[in-house]
Amino acid sequence: MNLLGTDFFLSPYFYLRQNDMVVIDVTKQKAAASDMTTVRNITLAASILSTIAIFLNVFKN
């Protein structure tokens, strides 16, 4: 099967059919990139700092 030609899209093997299974292996790089721990920690720290800044500003006046 020539994947570079346009006739590839006309092949019956191009389309998924009922009960077809698609298997995708996750690489270590992709798994590390999808790790949301760093994003969660940065968001938490920014929220805490914002809350402290608001309280300091409110009680200062």
Task: Tell me how far apart the alpha carbons of residues 45 and 61 are, in angstroms, rounded to a whole number.
Answer: 25
Dump pLDDT digits (tens) for 11-59: 787 788 899 998 888 777 766 666 778 888 899 999 999 999 999 999 9
For residue 31, the enclosing domain spans: 27-61
Say if CB 32 and CB 39 are below 8 A apart: no
Please check whether residue 31 lies inside any domain of the structure.
yes
Instruction: Assess if residue 22 is contained within a domain.
Output: no
Q: Is residue 9 part of a domain?
A: no
User: What's the domain count of the chain?
Assistant: 1
**Using CA atoms, how far apart are residues 30 and 34, in angstroms rounded to an integer?**
6
CA 49 – CA 61 distance, rounded (Å): 19
| 55 within a domain of the structure (yes/no) | yes
Is the entire prediction scored with pTM above 0.85? no
